[in-house]
Structures are given as structure tokens and as C-alpha cells.
Amino acid sequence: MPDSNEVVETFAVVPPLAEPAQPPRVGLLLLLRTFVRLGLMTFGGSVQAWVHREVVDRLGWLDNKSFLSGLTVAQVLPGANPVNIALYVGLQLRGAIGAAVAVLGMIVPAFCMIMLLGFFYRSYGHLGAVHFVLLGLAAAGVGATLTMGVRVARRLPRDLLTPLIAVTVFVVVGVLHWPMVPVVVVAVPLSIALAYAHEKRKLRHEP
């Protein structure tokens, strides 16, 4: 029977990451264009998933791990998640100026759009077609969210505790509808403490 550390090490194999160590240098104009388009074409709760689609899957600007860390920080800290994740991506790629460009790209065109919509609401707000299309876009957003979830879940460490934490958080927030903030306040320190213990153990066994 193998000792427990061997088991942990065997199961801690993460799929190989074919990803660049250093984020590529992205032009500010391209950064701006990307976030303007994302800000104008994506809605409400699923903006992050579309950002993941473009920034990680298609453009390869960030790897999954880096994006996921930023996403969690963006969700935990105050502020609109899409704006926070734009700030994080911009900062990673081009420093402070990149952060400003990405945030403004996300907010300013969407601001103009909502002003226009508010102006025209009375003339088109009653149209069933508009509500129907929005329902479709919301459903598509959930599809993008699930794709992102599967992609990042497959890269989780294959030990016992990590999936257990993920499933627990999903059940209490998604199924039992506990408020997110207290759940996160308990789960995050616990999960980080376990991860820290794991890192220390690894160091001790690989001198």
C-alpha cells in the first residue's frame, strides 16, 4: 500500500500546459478594439465567459490558470465582474495603461448604448421580438459559461479535496441559493490554506 504522499503526488498530475510562460505583447489599439467589441456584444452575467473565449481560447493572450485566478479575484472583490476582469487582463498584458484601456473599452461604448436605449425605450420596449432575442442571447451566454467551466475544471489538480471544494461551492450557491459572499468568505481561506499545506509538503519532498 503506497503512503499518502505518493497518492497525492500521483493524483496531482495536471494535464500538460501548452501555453506561453510570458503573455505576448498586445497592441493597445487591438486591446481597445477587443474590449469595445466584447462590451458591446455581450450581456449581463455571461460577459466573463465571452472574455475567456476571446482572450484565452482564440487570441491566446493569457493561459487558463492566469485567467482563472483573475476571474476569482474579480468575482470576490467589489465591482462589476466584467469591468474587473477587463482591468485584470489589461494589466497583465500592458500594465496600468492597458488596464485603463480595457476598462474604458468595456464601459464607454456600453454607456453610450444604454443612453441610446433609454432614449428609445418607449418606442421599441414593447416589442416581443426584442425580449425574445434577449432570451436567446441569455441562453447562449449560459452555453459559453458552461464551456468555460468545463475547460477550467479539466485543469484542476486531480486530488481528492479540490473537486470536493468545487462541488460543494456549486451546490450551496447554485442549488441551495446561499448568498455568494459568505460562502466565498469561508471557502476561499479554507481552500487556500489546504493549497498552502500542499505546496509546503511538495517542497519538503522535492528538495
Partner 1 sequence: MNLSRLLLLMLVFSPVSVLSFGGGQATIPEIQHQVVAVHGWLTDQQFADMFAISRAAPGPSTLIVALIGWQVSGFPGAVVATIAVFLPSSIIMYLASAWWQRNEKSAVRKAIERGLAPVAVGLIFAGAVIVLSSAHAGILALTTTAVVCVLQSATKISTYGTVGAVAAVYLVIFTLFHPLAA
Which residue from 132, 204, 206, 207 is in contact with partner 1, where contact means CB under 8 A?
132
Q: Which of 24, 125, 160, 205 binds partner 1 (CB under 8 A)?
A: 125
Of 37, 44, 54, 40, the closest CA to residue 141 belongs to 44
Q: Which one of residues 28, 63, 158, 180 is an interface residue with partner 1 (CB under 8 A)?
A: 180
Its sign, for the CA torsion 185, 179, 72, 113, is negative
CA-nearest of 134, 37, 18 to 86 is 37
- Our finding on whether 45 is near partner 1 (CB under 8 A) is yes
Q: How far apart are CA 175 and CA 157, in angstroms?
A: 24
Q: Residue 64 in contact with residue 152, Cβ under 8 Å?
A: yes
CB atoms within 10 A of CB 114: 10
d(C-alpha 170, C-alpha 176), whole Å:
9
Q: Which is nearer to partner 1, 1 or 204 (CB)?
A: 204
**Closest approach of partner 1 to the CB of residue 63, in Å:** 11
In whole angstroms, how close is the CB of 2 to partner 1 at the nearest point?
23
Q: Which stretch binds partner 1 (CB under 8 A): 2-10, 24-32, 46-54?
A: 46-54
Q: Candidates 1-9, 25-33, 128-136: pick the segment binding partner 1 (CB under 8 A).
A: 128-136
Which value, in Å, is the radius of gyration of the alpha carbons in the chain? 20
Give the residue, chosen from 13, 30, 97, 114, that forms a contact with partner 1 under the rule CB under 8 A: 114
Query: Which of 2-10, 25-33, 146-154 is the region at the interface with partner 1 (rule: CB under 8 A)?
Result: 146-154
Is residue 68 a contact residue for partner 1 (CB under 8 A)?
yes
DSSP state for residue 155 in the 8-state scheme: T
Does 117 help bind partner 1 (rule: CB under 8 A)? Answer: yes
Q: Report the C-alpha dihedral over residues 130, 131, 135, 141, rounded to 10 degrees.
A: 50
Residue in 173, 201, 204, 206 binding partner 1, rule: CB under 8 A: 173
Q: Does 158 bind partner 1 (CB under 8 A)?
A: no
Interface residue with partner 1, options 2, 129, 206, 207 (CB under 8 A):
129
d(CA 77, CA 20): 27
